[in-house]
Amino acid sequence: MKLTADKIREKTCPACGHHVAVQFMKENLQPLATLAWPRSEQAANTLPGLPQDFIRCIRCGHIYNHDFKYEDVPYSDNPNLMFNKGKIWSDFIVDVQNKIQTYLPENPIVIEIGHGDGSFLASLHRLCGSGTFIGYDPHGAQHDTNTEVQGLYFKNELFKPVQLFSEMKPDLIVSRHVLEHLVNPLGFLQSVAFASNHFKTFPLTYFEVPCIDRVLESGRTVDFYYEHSSQFTSKSFNEMLHQSTLSINEIGYGYKKEVIYSFCTIKDSGFPAQYIDESLTFYENAENSLVEIKHQLQNIFESGKKIAIWGGTGKSAAFMCRYQVDKDRFPVVVDSDKFKVGTYVPGTGQEIKFCDWLVENPVDIIIIPPQWRAKDIITEIESNNILYGQVLIEHNGVLVDFKTEQHPY
């Protein structure tokens, strides 16, 4: 089949982050396949259809429904509980658990993300005999205090990596058949790796997902339904792990290659703490400047001085919206660009005048929000014989006098 422009999709791959994909399989609207649980024939026949437009990343081969929306899947009504009682499947689970046990120390701390019916975590807990085993799943099995097993806990809440790593140092994080349901599995794994690095705790991880290699070999189509928005190939699964700064210890398959799994250790990636510190400091300073500059502006207004804002769009509009420079207190806005004259400031509503309006209507204070242009604007002001008393710019969270106070402009 010839590649045409309509078969190319500019979408971000949820496994590797690449932004070009090609059409793979498109279905008519179909209802949920595993989570609808209709209770009558009429209910079954009137289920709403959902879009299924599967595309494939040209970099890692990942296949995904780019029209998928997590909120369309009613996990809270009908949780996605895997059927774990088939003989071959049960044998695979036992093999996995035995392998996991060989990696664990005595009295391990084990976390499962998406514990479902809780059977996997409970049987792993029995196998190990001691330790702390905690499952996180907002719609999974609930912790029964009446039949409490010491060391086994089920939390009906979302797994939050930063909160977890700030409270404990797990030896193992398990997630089975969860990643294929997420809009952004790569982002989720990267958030786990980030939190791990931040708190200098580097546990083993076990991730397991359906593998679509045999689907591609045999041309099967029944694997593509709404709840499984991501379809992992061996290549895309490996690529996602590498992009998540995970050091792969082992990749394996189960159930005749219908499942792929990994044992990985989160790397010490050295995420620059500088970025975190700079961001949080900037956030705090920005919050403080919001209070301080609004206070300064109110004091200027109450002083009775005539004020003009130079610039009515872009950075100037952002300044006026951020600091609530309303048209009642600050009606005068001028601009050097004649094309903007007669339009209005987005969000605050002042009509923009041409800057030569100030020749006949001088003001006491001119506020120039785009600091980096202030010197040019002052040159323009003075060359046009516009009178003024003071020019103010924002610097380090306050308004400062351009000519008398310290700043880098």
Place of tokens 């961001």: 279
* pLDDT at 249 (0 to 100): 95
* pLDDT at 22 (0 to 100): 96
Question: Is 70 exceeded by the pLDDT of residue 35?
Answer: no
84: confidence class by pLDDT, cuts 50, 70, 90:
low
CA–CA separation, 230 vs 307, rounded Å? 57
CA–CA separation, 99 vs 361, rounded Å? 82
CA–CA separation, 351 vs 341, rounded Å? 8
Segment 154-163 shows an average pLDDT of 94
Question: Is 70 exceeded by the pLDDT of residue 76?
Answer: no
Question: Is 80 exceeded by the pLDDT of residue 192?
Answer: yes
Tens of pLDDT, residue by residue over 4-33, are 998 999 999 999 999 999 999 998 888 887
Segment 155-164 shows an average pLDDT of 94
**pLDDT over 70, % of the chain:** 95
Segment 62-68 shows an average pLDDT of 95
Among 77-81, 118-122, 232-236, 373-377, the least confident range: 77-81
75: confidence class by pLDDT, cuts 50, 70, 90:
low
* pLDDT at 140 (0 to 100): 86
* pLDDT at 39 (0 to 100): 83
How many C-alpha atoms does 389 have within 13 Å on its Cβ side? 9
CA–CA separation, 72 vs 32, rounded Å? 9
82: confidence class by pLDDT, cuts 50, 70, 90:
low
- Please give the domain boundaries of the chain with CATH numbers for all domains: 5-72 (no CATH), 87-273 (3.40.50.150), 292-401 (3.40.50.720)
Tens of pLDDT, residue by residue over 306-363, are 999 999 999 999 999 999 999 999 999 999 999 999 999 999 999 999 999 999 999 9
Among 199-208, 267-276, 392-401, the least confident range: 267-276
Q: What is the mean pLDDT of the chain?
A: 92
144: confidence class by pLDDT, cuts 50, 70, 90:
low
Helix residue spans in 244-373 (DSSP H) = 273-302, 314-322, 357-360
* pLDDT at 145 (0 to 100): 57
* pLDDT at 29 (0 to 100): 87
Question: Is 80 exceeded by the pLDDT of residue 81?
Answer: no
Among 21-35, 196-210, 289-303, 366-380, the least confident range: 21-35
Higher pLDDT, 245 or 366: 366
* pLDDT at 89 (0 to 100): 85
User: Which residue pairs from 43-52 have beta carbons closer than 8 angstroms and sit at least 24 positions apart in sequence?
Assistant: 50/226, 52/25, 52/26, 52/27, 52/224, 52/225, 52/226
Is 333 within 8 Å of 355 (Cβ atoms)? no
Segment 371-396 shows an average pLDDT of 95
Question: Is 90 exceeded by the pLDDT of residue 43?
Answer: no
According to DSSP, residue 146 is labeled G
Dihedrals phi, psi of 232, to nearest 5 degrees: -90, 130
78: confidence class by pLDDT, cuts 50, 70, 90:
low
Type of residue numbered 226 = Y
